[in-house]
Amino acid sequence: MLLPPRPARLAAPAGAARPWPSVLATWGPGERSALHAHHCWHLVLALDGELAVQATEGGPFQAGGAVLTAPDVAHAIDASGARVLLVFVEPESDAGDALAAALGASAIELVRDEAAHRLRSRLGPPSEVDLAAALPGLFEALGLAVPARSPRPRHPGIKRVLRHLRSGAAGADTSLDALAHVARLSPGRFMHAFTEDVGVPLRPYLLWLKLERAGAAIAGGATLAEAASAAGFADAAHMTRTFRRMFGVNPSDLRRRSQLVQDR
């Protein structure tokens, strides 16, 4: 039986928009997604049955108990008929940096049944898990030694910009000149440092941030039109197209699952 819906702790109220926190988890009925890529670490665990992952358009699906994908890596997941737990980890957070350090160059990690069973045993009922506290233990159960502190250095100017972007309003000035001023760098140096530190150029990251805001608003009860407006999309149709491209599913699917949200 699917766990009963429960409101997301720290989720945005209807009409508001805030970024997703560093760790967000949802669970519920699995489905098949189209090939997509998003700017976050993504763990999908089959709570019963198994799932399959595809890495290229038209390529073969490989079956397993769970899959972990790195940020901005294309993948499609078929979890039809299973209940799944999905964990999203912001790559610019400490937890995201620690995962990058643990996995190295690995883009997609398919978790076989034995390791997935260990993870289910460690996890317990999803509704009772403090995911932020449990994260190191969960990934250790998958055979990943995630360090407690991230060893990855980040440019201080880029750190200021990331904090500024994730704490600011959806309509804040995100022009190159404005953000370079926050970073205390020239526009050219800022663009280079941002792409090097974050892994994607500024404009795709800003689009991802808008999608995060919209997703958080939807999880908090906003309608698609309210979420699109609050996040800065032209309309709900534009938001939906972007959501499908980056997540492979419709934004309304966020409401089909119980939510567990942990703040940074």
Domain residues of the chain, as ranges? 23-89+93-150, 156-246
Burial of 254 (0-12, 13-18, 19+ CB in 10 A): buried
**How many other C-beta atoms can be found within 10 angstroms of the C-beta atom of residue 247?**
20
The per-residue pLDDT for range 212-260, each reduced to its tens digit, is: 888 878 877 789 999 999 888 999 999 999 988 888 878 877 665 544 4
| pLDDT at residue 143, rounded to an integer | 61
Reported confidence tier of residue 126, pLDDT bands at 50, 70, 90: low
Q: Classify the phi-psi angles of 102: left when phi > 0, otherwise alpha if psi is within -120 to 50, otherwise beta.
A: alpha
One-letter amino acid at 1 equals: M
Question: Shortest CA distance to 258 belongs to which of 5, 9, 58?
Answer: 5
pLDDT in tens, 56-83: 888 999 999 889 899 999 999 999 988 8
Q: What is 156-246's CATH number?
A: 1.10.10.60
- Which band of pLDDT confidence, cut at 50, 70 and 90, is reported for residue 21? low
What is the distance between the alpha carbons of residues 66 and 120, in angstroms, rounded to a whole number?
Answer: 10
Q: Nearest Cα to 44, choosing from 78, 10, 17, 18? A: 78
Matching CATH number, 23-89+93-150, of 2.60.120.810, 3.65.10.10, 3.40.50.620, 2.40.50.140: 2.60.120.810
Contact between residue 130 and residue 9 where contact means Cβ atoms under 8 Å apart: no
